Structure 1
Amino acid sequence: MNLKQISIAIYATYLTNKFGFKLKRAKTSQEKRKLRLEYSQILLSKLNINIKVLNEENLPKEGQYLLVANHRSIIDPLIIEIALKDSPIHGFWVSKKELYNSFFFGSFTKNADSILLDRESANMSSFFKDTKKVIQEGNSIFIFPEGTRNKTDNQISSFKEGAKLIALKNKINILPVYIKTHANEVLKEAINKRSKNLNIEIEIGEIIDYKDKTSLEESYKKQFHIN
């Protein structure tokens, strides 16, 4: 790592753990949403990354949803938080066990309104119980249906079947969003070159009815014209 990379890594670690502590002390989801947005804005500003939202008019004015998004970069949740800043939607992120145990993200993830997904567990009943509780309390759920970051040359990788099951079990419609720009490439440029005025585009799709029998991956590809 060069000095630029080390500097950003130290700052990001400090900021993430600082906000992890703040989130732990927050008493309501409203406070946590505000802190998540503040963290996202501060870190992306430090990286000189701007977020441009396409089809913002598609953002719902009310209701609860399963928000699904493609996933190429560790900053994808931050991009989505900023895209939703003027929306009333607050979601619990579905987060894998590795993030809960991470030195870098652990404190933040555990306290930022998230639902633990243990992919090694033979029994998923506790996970679906948690999703039901989140919906009953009036919140939405955010998930990356690819399951992990897409490191291929394809625009998206295969969606896991469990994502749509969350919508079906909780009878909530699906809000698709698509990070059009290759966010990981932008992040690399931000860290390695410290370029100014970098831009990432995120597109808001149209609501998908949870009863739609088309596969989620197929519906998503069709909306965003992905081959």
Structure 2
Amino acid sequence: MNLKKIKMAIYAMYLTNKYGIKLKKTKTSKEKMDLRLNYSEELLSKLNIKVQIENKDKIPTQGQYLLISNHRSIIDPLIIEQTLKDSDIKGYWVAKKELYNSSFFGTFTRNAGTILLDRESNNMSSFFKKTKEVVKNNQSIFIFPEGTRNKENTPISSFKEGSRIIALKNRLDILPVFIKSNANDILKEAIEKRTENLIIEIKIGNIISYKDKTSLEENYKKQFNLD
């Protein structure tokens, strides 16, 4: 690891834990959402990364949705936060157990407005109970349907069935978002070369009804011409 990487890693850990502590002290969902947005703006600014949105007019100004996105980098949640900053669409992220226990992300993740997903659990009732609580409190739910970061040289990997079940159980229409740029490659360039004015391109799709019986992966691919 070179000096630039070390400096950025130290800064990112400092900023993440700083906001994690701030989030722990919040009392309302709005405070959490505002802090998440501030965090994403501050870290992406440090990385010299800006988000450019195609079909921005397709982002609903209000309402509740299951937002789905492809997942190729650790900064994808920050990219989504920036994508929605001019909208009233705010939500809880579905976060895996590993993030809750992480020394780097743990404090932030546990307090940032998330729904714990424990894939090792034999009983998912507590997870679905939490999704209902979130929706009842007028929040959306954000999820990466691939389940983990896609490290292959493909735009997306296979979707898990859980996303569609969340939409059905909570009667949430689906807002598809596609991160067109390889955000992981751009992140590496930002850290290793400190390149100025890096752009990550986002494309917004059409709302998908939770009643739509088409495979969610098939629907997503069709919307973004990924076949």
**1:142-221 alignment runs, 5 A limit:** 142-221=142-221
Tell whether 2:93 aligns with 1:93.
Answer: yes
Distance 2:63 2:3 in 1: 46
Report the equivalent of 2:124.
124
Q: Deviations over 1:191-223 (max 9, x none)?
A: 111111110001111100000000000000000
Distance 1:42 1:61 in 2: 24
Q: Deviations over 1:122-160 (max 9, x none)?
A: 111110000001001110000000000000111100000
Please identify runs of 4+ aligned residues in structure 1 that moved more than 3 A.
none
Distance 1:63 1:197 in 2: 33
Letter of the 1:180 counterpart: K
Distance 1:215 1:96 in 2: 23
Distance 1:196 1:119 in 2: 39
Letter of the 1:79 counterpart: I
How many Å apart are 1:86 and its aligned residue? 0.4
How many Å apart are 1:62 and its aligned residue? 1.8
How many Å apart are 1:76 and its aligned residue? 0.1
Q: Deviations over 1:62-113 (max 9, x none)?
A: 2110000000000000000000000001110000000000000000000000
Q: Secondary structure at the match of 1:94?
A: strand
Tell whether 2:11 aligns with 1:11.
Answer: yes
| Identical residues among aligned pairs (%) | 68
Letter of the 1:217 counterpart: E
Distance 2:57 2:93 in 1: 23
**1:65-84 alignment runs, 5 A limit:** 65-84=65-84
Letter of the 2:56 counterpart: E
Distance 1:111 1:53 in 2: 28
Distance 1:80 1:113 in 2: 14
Distance 2:107 2:189 in 1: 27
Distance 2:188 2:143 in 1: 24
Question: Cα RMSD between the aligned structures?
Answer: 0.5
Distance 1:151 1:178 in 2: 16
In the superposition, the TM-score normalised over structure 1's length comes to: 0.99
In the superposition, the TM-score normalised over structure 2's length comes to: 0.99
Report the equivalent of 2:53.
53
Distance 2:193 2:117 in 1: 35
Distance 1:183 1:212 in 2: 30
Unaligned runs of 5+ in 1: none
Q: Deviations over 1:16-56 (max 9, x none)?
A: 00000000111111111110000000000000111101101
Q: Number of residue pairs matched?
A: 227
Unaligned runs of 5+ in 2: none
Distance 1:173 1:124 in 2: 22
Q: Secondary structure at the match of 1:121?
A: coil
